[in-house]
Amino acid sequence: MKTQTITIIGLDRVGASIGLAVKQSPLDVTVVGHDPDDAKGRFAKDKLKAIDKAEPNLVTAARMADILVITAQIADVESILQVIGSELQSHTLLIDLSSLKRLGLDWAKLYMQQGHYVGAVPVLAAPYLTDGRSDASVATPDLFKDSAFCLMPSPKADPQAVETAVNFGILLGALPYFVDPDEYDSLVQGTETLPGLVSLAMFKAMQQSSGWRDILRFAGLPFALTTLPLENDRDIPLHALQNKQATLRWLDAMVNELKEVRRLVYSEEQEILAALAEQLALERAKWLDSREKNDWDERQSPPIERRSMASHLFGSFVTRSGDKDA
């Protein structure tokens, strides 16, 4: 037996891009896609050619998967695992790409009766960090090229399942990076949770302004990109309350910086404000340059026996039989 079917749940930009990467690889598999919006499934299949089959039934899509990739919002993951947790094949590798990893691991333990759960986060490649688009029309097979593929497997996952997940990340052009799920969640409090809460507060402040109708008419790219996290509005409270103390620390730090910026504006400290903007613009440019070069001090990943990618995506792992907890 070999891996025959890869199922992707969620067909926005990330899911469609993964489908394109698999379809443009030399691997001989069937790619099945599922999305609650049937139109997205048809678009991914007929226009993008990112999947071979659009399966409207979630359970059917999950049942046929040898490798199942979930790209849904974290707000939807629990309900998905509730529905499919008893339907997976015993050898199925489930790769969950949602944004909070401890929640995903806990839900997998609760709902998955068999199969192997690996939490993962593919980080966007540098060229796609700032375009702000998330729909499938801008899907690309190199969305994660030369970036990081963060891995947080369940302790009960078969080592060969973990190795298969590593090679799946390599197929996407990314580099494997093992990290503790709680450590990961604490880090993204600043990069995911804070932007969501800031976008919420900023949009509300603008909306309550007496000039709101004119703001709607004239608001441009900076406003649209800054409020982009509101597209994942149901994820914002989950992120904020997953680690309340960390969220409050980030909010306090943000409020302190806003107070300092307000002081500079009130005092008309143009030179200081200009110097601050210049300094931070340079730091941001350094960050983007490091992301493009993938220039980081990498930690050592656990040793993994290396064989061919085809062996792990198509052979040695899925031939194992017997039920396995997530």
Whole-angstrom CA distances from 278 to 256, 275, 283 are 20, 5, 9
**CA-CA distance, 119 to 108, in Å (whole number)?**
10
Q: So what's the pLDDT on residue 20? A: 97
**CA-CA distance, 67 to 318, in Å (whole number)?**
9
Q: So what's the pLDDT on residue 100? A: 92
**SS3 state of residue 120:** strand
Q: Where are the domains of the chain?
A: 5-179+300-314, 183-266
Provide the 10 A C-beta neighbour count for residue 79.
13
Q: So what's the pLDDT on residue 139? A: 96
Q: So what's the pLDDT on residue 213? A: 86
Torsion of CA 29, 34, 40, 44, to 10 degrees: 0
**CA-CA distance, 61 to 223, in Å (whole number)?**
38
Burial of 252 (0-12, 13-18, 19+ CB in 10 A): exposed
Q: So what's the pLDDT on residue 297? A: 53
Q: What CATH number is given for 183-266 in this structure? A: 1.10.3660.10
Which fold would CATH assign to domain 5-179+300-314? Rossmann fold (3.40.50)
Q: So what's the pLDDT on residue 306? A: 44
Q: So what's the pLDDT on residue 307? A: 47
Q: So what's the pLDDT on residue 321? A: 39
Show the tokens assigned to 39: 């139109």
**CA-CA distance, 123 to 296, in Å (whole number)?**
14
- What are the per-10-residue average pLDDT scores of the chain (326 residues)? 86 97 93 96 96 97 97 95 96 95 96 96 90 90 94 94 95 93 89 94 92 87 90 92 91 96 96 96 91 65 47 48 52
**For residue 159, what is the enclosing H or E element?**
helix 159-171
Q: Do the Cβ atoms of 49 and 132 come closer than 8 Å?
A: no
For 17-30, letters b (16+ CB in 10 Å) and e give: bbbbbbbeeebebb
Strand bridging mode 175-178 / 5-9? unpaired
